[in-house]
Structure 1
């Protein structure tokens, strides 16, 4: 089967415009995400990466355009059907967003308790399995305050995996992590993609991570409020289509025009 055939397209963004109130953040967004790919949302600070991510995970209705999940129009569906489509999603927020008053095990059990009819025994087994996938089995009875930054990210990932999502959304997963911990997280993300076939959409500024794990992506421009490049981070690094992309991919300071 051709990698670009419709059967291999999991997500489609079509002429999407996102923003807050009267303020437009990004417009004319059109791209597709293939099954099993790691797709990067790239660009400088303030360009709208996280805003686009919020719209894709159901937190921010778009101003215009469509977002399709396996051919189903997410934002044009009724509320109940949007919840059903959203069951295909898992989200790892930048801060991991674990409930501080709950143990790690209780955090991971929560979506299973809310969205399934599984017994408490089965939920406990699944919690242990998800923590095992991210190498955090020992943390089941710990509280988030007892974890390092990297451990919180792994536990947040275990919670994102609780309902066996087809699609994982990561918002700056390496933010605040040291290089060794960041590399371990990259390896974990690749293992999830390769072992489970999970499709991943990632927002990140970390170039070593992007070059290592992402095989496709889109580059957003804050000034024009439009995408200006599409391709893998490595391809955009080696053949940048414009000066802005070149400067970003090589960590050069963009000079303001005189």
Structure 2
């Protein structure tokens, strides 16, 4: 049985989800649970629908069919006010960090607090300093995104994702474009945030070293069948899953074609 924190409470549940753009099916028959306190990986090759799954989980794409429950409540059954309230539990780190270029790092982190709380400027400033301190970016509070390295932008984006103290964090390719050392430091930071803050993390990635290092559960999406074909921690899938597509991905091998030739 693949490990994945089976003894923990289910925080999010996708049940028989189908995602599509017009007549194009992206993924279908998607069902999985995310346990509280886990680091859950959505895996698969390019074009399999990883980021589309993430978009649906943060409320940017309504499924064509199926149910999505957060904390036991149906996400898509309620009105807009219900979804806004649920979204307050989410923090999102986008692949490009998506920082506002005209704002300083501190102003980027402060923006969600200014929009969604009634805190005074002094209180917001203290919280901004706290969030940036958690990701070792307090020294850059008055710098602009153009002055930051790739890794610094990711950490600033992470601080902004934590601005409203969410209990669920979503990361879209957090290690993309980073050198191996910076990527490893970001992995350590993600694990420390999970352990220190008790956050639940959903991560979309195809970076194998990061997946093996931090994820304790996950699902593997297949681009050809447009369905999930494996479930479990990435390290477990690497060592125990005998599906040829999963094995090839986890071991960086070329999968065989139906005729027995490699692509």
- TM-score, length-scaled by structure 1: 0.97
Give yes or no for contact 1:16–1:29 (8 Å, CA) kept in 2. yes
**2: CA distance, partners of 1:161 / 1:245:** 33
List alignment gaps of at least 5 residues for structure 1: none
**2: CA distance, partners of 1:107 / 1:42:** 30
Partner of 2:244: 243
1:236-255 deviation line (CA, Å, top 9, x unaligned): 00011311100000000123
Partner of 2:135: 134
**2: CA distance, partners of 1:81 / 1:113:** 21
Give yes or no for contact 1:229–1:241 (8 Å, CA) kept in 2. no
Partner SS for 2:143: coil
Partner SS for 2:97: coil
Partner of 1:189: 190
How far is the alpha carbon of 1:256 from its aligned partner? 3.0
1:112-168 deviation line (CA, Å, top 9, x unaligned): 011111111100000000000000001110000000000000000000000000000
- TM-score, length-scaled by structure 2: 0.95
**2: CA distance, partners of 1:81 / 1:186:** 33
Aligned residues: 255
Partner of 1:207: 208
Partner of 2:56: 55
List alignment gaps of at least 5 residues for structure 2: none
How far is the alpha carbon of 1:52 from its aligned partner? 0.5
Partner of 2:169: 168
**1: CA distance, partners of 2:197 / 2:221:** 29
Partner of 1:124: 125
Partner of 2:253: 252
Partner SS for 1:19: strand
**Mean CA deviation greater in 247-256 or 43-52:** 247-256
The alignment yields a C-alpha RMSD, in angstroms, of 1.0
Map 1:1-258 onto structure 2 (within 5 A). 4=6, 8-258=9-259
**2: CA distance, partners of 1:84 / 1:107:** 22
Partner SS for 1:117: coil
Give yes or no for contact 1:240–1:246 (8 Å, CA) kept in 2. yes
How far is the alpha carbon of 1:65 from its aligned partner? 0.5
Give yes or no for contact 1:19–1:51 (8 Å, CA) kept in 2. no
**Mean CA deviation greater in 247-256 or 203-212:** 247-256
1:48-76 deviation line (CA, Å, top 9, x unaligned): 00000000011111111111110011111
**1: CA distance, partners of 2:152 / 2:192:** 17
